[in-house]
A and B are shown apart, each in its own frame.
Chain A
Amino acid sequence: MTTLLILLPLAAALVIWVLPLNDISAGALALLAALVEVGLWIQLVVRYDFAQGGLQFSQQQSWFSDLHVSYHVGVYGFSVWLVGLTVVAMAAAIAYGFWVGRDRVRAYMGLMLFLTGAVVGVFTAQDLLLFYAFFEAMMIPLYVLVGVWGGPGRMGATLKFVLYTMAGSLLMLASIIVYGLSQNTFDLTEIGQSSSDWVFLGFVAAFAIKAPLFPLHGWLPDAYRESSPEVAAILSGVVSKAAAYGFLRIAIAKFPDPVQHYRVPILALAAIGLIYGSLLAFRAPDIRGVIAYSSLAQMGLITMGLFAVNDLGFDGAVLQMVNHGLVSTTLFLLAGMVERRTLTGELSRLGGMARGRPALATVLMTTGVIALAVPLSSAFAGEFLILAAVFRQGWGWSVVGAVAIVLAAAYILRLISALLHREVGPAVSDSALDLRPAELGVVVPLVACLLALSAWPAAITEHSFRHDRGQTDVTQGFK
C-alpha cells in the first residue's frame, strides 16, 4: 500500500516521459494519476487503524545489509495526514498546470509526478538513508521546475535555492553517517536515541533551511516569486512540511537531550521568524511576497509548537502543518489566477476585483478568513493549541505568538482589501473574467478540505499519535 503510493506517481512519470503522447493526453494522464493517488490515499485513511496507532502498512526489504540499510516504509497517524496533504495539493497543482497549459507538457507533468512520489517517500520512509534519498530526490524535479518554467529571475532563484538547501542536506548526510554507523543500524524504528549535539545540529541545519527558519530564509522570497504559481504552492505548502516532519520524526524523537539544550535558541529563532515574517508580509509590495513571508511566519509557529515538546504542541503543529499547507497552496494558486488576468502581482496596481467577480471574491475571502485564524476556523484551532503548548514553556512565548496572530490578521486583511476592495486598480481591466469553472474545480476542493477541518479539527488532533499522547509517543522515539 505504502509502496504503491510511492511508486504509482513515479511509474506514471516514466510512462509520460517515455510514450510520445500529445499535450492533452499527457496532461490528462498526469491528472488521472494524481487523482488515483488521492483515491489510494483515501483507501489508506479508511484502512489505517487509528485506535491502535503506531507504524502500519510497513514494508521492509534489505537494500545493503553490510551497513544495515533497508528499504523500509510505513505510515504513522500523523504521516497519514501529511501524505494526504501532499497528494491533494499535488493533484490541485497538476490540474492547474494542465489547465494553464505549460510548455513542454510531458517533461513538466512527469516532473510534477516524480515530485509527488518523492515527497510521499519522505513522509513514509522508515530508514534514515532512504529518508535522505527521498529528501534529496525532491530537489531533482524542483530544481528544473523552478529553473525552466519560472519567471525572468529564475536562474538566480534556483541557484540560491539549491545551494542553500543542499548545504543543509549535506550536513544532514554527515550526521546520518555518524549516527547510523555509531548505532549500527539506519532503521528509524530500531535506532536508539542519541545525545550527540553535533549530530543533532546537522539534522537541524537541514530542516531549518528547508522550512525555512529565520535567519536561513535567504532563498525563500526569490524562489516563491520566480517559480510558476503551482510550483510555489507546492514549495510552500508541501515541501516545507517535509522539514517540519523531519523535526518531528528525527530531530525531536531521536535526540531528547540535545533538544533540551537547544530548545530555547530554536524557539527564539522560530519566534523571531514568526514576528519578522509577519512584519515583512505586511510590508510586501506584491501578492506572492505576502504569501511567501506569511509562510516563513507560519513555519516559525509550527516549529514553536514542535519544540514545546508536549501533547498540545505536537497535535497543534500537525494540524497547523496541514492547515498551512492547504491555505498556502490555495493562496498561491489564487495568486496565479489573479496574475493571469492582470499580468502583475503588485498590490498598488490591483484593486476592486470583487466587483462583478463573486466567485473569486468568495473563494479568496474564505481562504483568507481561515488563514487569519478567526475563531471556529481550523487555523484557529491549530494556533490555539500551539500557543497553549508554548505557554507551558514560558508565558513570553505565547505573547509573541498572540502578537503574531494579530499581525496575521493585519496582513491578510491588507491583501484582501488590496485585491478585492478599494477602487479598481490600473492593471485590472473590466474584461478580466471571474474564476472559470476549471479554476473553481481546482481551488474549491482545497477550500472544502479547509472547511471540513474547521468543522472537525479533531480529525487530525485526535488521530495523529498513539492514544492521543503525542509527548510519550515522540519522546520515546516512536518505539
Chain B
Amino acid sequence: MNSLFRKEYEIPANDFSVAGEASSSVRKLLNQLGVDPPIVKRTSIAMYEAEINAVIHGNGGKALVQFFEDKVTILISDEGPGIEDIELAMQEGYSTAPDRIREMGFGAGMGLSNIKKNADEFVLESEPGKGTRVHITMYLL
C-alpha cells in the first residue's frame, strides 16, 4: 500500500546543533494528526536515537518518514562505516563512540536498545563499508 504522504530530511554529519530537528518535526506532525501522546513520545524517542546515531557514527544521512492510515514508518539511512557485529552493538552500554563524542554526553551505548524499547517494529541492516539502515515502524491506532 502506498503511503498517504512522506517527509524527507537531511541529517548532517557531526552537526549537533541541528541533530534532533527531524524527530522534533515528526513529533509536531503526529500531534497535529491527533496521535495518542504516549505513542508520539515513543516515536520521537526512537527516531531521535536513530537520528543521533547517523550524526555520530554515519557521517550524516537521510530520514524518510512515511505516513500510512494506521502506521508510520521511519527509515534512517547513512553511508557510514557500517556495524561489524550487530548483536554486540545492540547490547546496552556497548559503544564505539570516540571520547570527544562521549564528552558531549552522547555515546553511552544506549541508543539502539532505546530504539528497540520504544519502537513497535525495529529492523537494523548494516554491513561494514556499506552503511546502516534503521527501519522503525510505529502503529498509530
Q: Do A and B interact with each other, yes or no?
A: no
Give the interface of A toward B (CB within 8 A). Answer: none
**Residue ranges of B at the interface with A (Cβ–Cβ < 8 Å):** none
